[in-house]
């Protein structure tokens, strides 16, 4: 029987798996490089173009969950990046790949999960397709990255 590691809340030894965990990533967006405090900041900011003031607001928020909640408000539900919903899984994967490629501590922790099945287990992620009810897309991405790290592949 395989070991399962469930993660969601900002607590516990496996919180580092969450996009909300504090591992900064550098990403080029709309031709300019930015440093995002977390993958969640990157994901939420990508709902907007870099020249949109809302992008900058999200980038400067301290709490990644505040970024997520802000994009649920009426002001942040309109005039989003064209095609974001079609790209959301690719955007999350790109952010996660950057997290583990740019943060050795995070990569080492991911490798220490061994062969455990990684499960994003919370209601919010279930609804948007990243959690267990949404085919556990986030967990699948993390397990793929872990395998690539294990095999020392450089295309993270």
Q: 53 and 75 in contact (C-beta within 8 Å)?
A: no
State residue 145's pLDDT score. Answer: 97
pLDDT at 33 over 80: yes
Q: Widest CA span of the chain, in angstroms?
A: 50
Band (127; pLDDT cuts 50, 70, 90):
very low
Contact between 19 and 134 (Cβ < 8 Å)? no
Q: Which tens digits make up the pLDDT trace of 130-145?
A: 555 567 888 899 999 9
Question: Confidence band (pLDDT; 50, 70, 90) for 126?
Answer: very low
Please state, in angstroms and rounded to a whole number, the distance separating the CA atoms of residues 41 and 14. Answer: 19
CA dihedral 58, 8, 143, 126 (to 10 degrees): -80
For residue 39, the tally of other CB atoms under 10 A from its CB is 29
Q: Please report the domains of the chain, with CATH numbers, ordered by start residue.
A: 4-150 (1.10.357.40)
């Amino acid at each position: 029987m395989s070991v399962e590691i469930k993660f969601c809340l900002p607590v516990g030894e496996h919180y580092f798996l969450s996009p909300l965990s504090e591992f900064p990533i550098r990403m080029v967006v709309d031709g300019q490089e930015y440093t995002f405090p977390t993958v969640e900041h990157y994901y939420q900011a990508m709902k907007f173009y870099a020249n949109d003031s809302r992008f900058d607001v999200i980038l400067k928020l301290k709490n990644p969950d505040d970024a997520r909640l802000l994009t649920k408000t009426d002001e942040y539900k309109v005039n989003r990046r064209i095609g974001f919903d079609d790209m959301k899984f690719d955007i999350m994967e790109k952010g996660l790949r950057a997290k583990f490629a740019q943060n050795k501590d995070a990569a080492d922790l991911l490798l220490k999960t061994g062969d455990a099945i990684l499960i994003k287990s919370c209601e919010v992620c279930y609804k948007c397709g990243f959690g267990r009810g949404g085919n556990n897309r986030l967990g699948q991405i993390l397990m793929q990255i872990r395998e690539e790290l294990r095999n020392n592949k450089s295309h993270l």
